[in-house]
Amino acid sequence: MTPFYRFAARGAIIPFLKMVSRQKVTGLENIPREGGFIAVANHLTDLDSLTAMRALVDADVPVYSLAKSTLFKVPVLGSILRAGGQIPVQRGTQNAATALKAASDVLADGGAIMIFPEGTLSRDPLKWPMVAKTGAARLAMTSGAPVLPMGQWGAHEILDTYGRSFRPFPRKDVRVTIGELMDLSRFGKDAQDREAVRACTAEIMRAITALVEELRGEKAPRPFDMHYDGDPGKGRIGVRRPDPLPEAVPGGTDTAQGTEKTAGKTESTEKTEGPQEGGQ
């Protein structure tokens, strides 16, 4: 994180968050003090990308994020993102491989990368983490960097999913919990090994979901799966279908792991080589 971006975060973003929320962070002792790592979190609203990063910035961690390439074209915002060395991602293109290389370079230099493995805001009407894309696992496997899971809850009460309602006052409670650092080296380094990538993705999502369960005080249902439950389309919340019987879906849906195996395939973005950024 460049000095300019750190100034923008502490001089504008964090004061705004303090104005609209009371943020409580637990698990700060789990943040590594040296070496690169990949921070991963659930994603319910555009605002929680800021609350997750705030937890790391407040801990003086040089964190970089993956952002939709279109954001770099927005006046002022684009300049801030470029000045901060943030990484643009063009979904569904070969640019994803370039983003993977850029993220790997940050990790090699001892920086932290923030990724939302779902790759988009959760479509789950119950607001649980949904079936993830494979970008975070691919980056972890190819870079060898450890993964720091984070769960968060409350930012959606300020800005709901897809920003249809902004309720800044009164201030809302936002809670972030940071889990133990994960060593995923046992899954190997071959990002073309679909089974290993899928298992690694499942491990990451189990950790995130467990933290969200802790925050919400309840057990999560099976992960919302856009291949099984249906893709509601951009900017829409989905509708859950009844839970499938194991024999009802070829290949099955691994409800415990949060990784989709419908019809013998992994996520629809399986061919994308790079990590997935947050957004809509």
In a domain, 181, yes or no: yes
**How many independent structural domains does the chain possess?**
1
In a domain, 269, yes or no: no
- Helix H, strand E, coil C: the string for 109-158 is CCCEEEECCCCCCCCCCCCCCCCCCCHHHHHHHHHCCCEEEEEEECHHHC
Query: How far, in Å, CA of 188 to CA of 177, rounded?
Result: 28
* Domain ranges, residue 50: 3-264
User: Using one digit for the tens of pLDDT, what is the confidence trace for 114-141?
Assistant: 999 998 899 999 999 999 999 999 999 9
The residues near 265 (Cβ < 8 Å, ≥ 6 apart) are 251
The residues near 85 (Cβ < 8 Å, ≥ 6 apart) are 1, 2, 5, 64, 106
User: What pLDDT score does 251 carry?
Assistant: 43
Least confident of 92-101, 161-170, 194-203: 92-101
In a domain, 108, yes or no: yes
Confidence at 85, pLDDT banded by 50, 70, 90: confident
In a domain, 279, yes or no: no
Q: Give the CATH number of the domain where residue 182 resides.
A: 3.40.1130
In a domain, 109, yes or no: yes
Query: How far, in Å, CA of 100 to CA of 270, rounded?
Result: 14
In a domain, 277, yes or no: no
In a domain, 186, yes or no: yes
Composition of the chain by helix, strand, coil, percent to 5: 40, 15, 45
User: What pLDDT score does 93 carry?
Assistant: 62
Confidence at 12, pLDDT banded by 50, 70, 90: confident
Global pTM reads: 0.85
In a domain, 98, yes or no: yes
User: What pLDDT score does 108 carry?
Assistant: 93
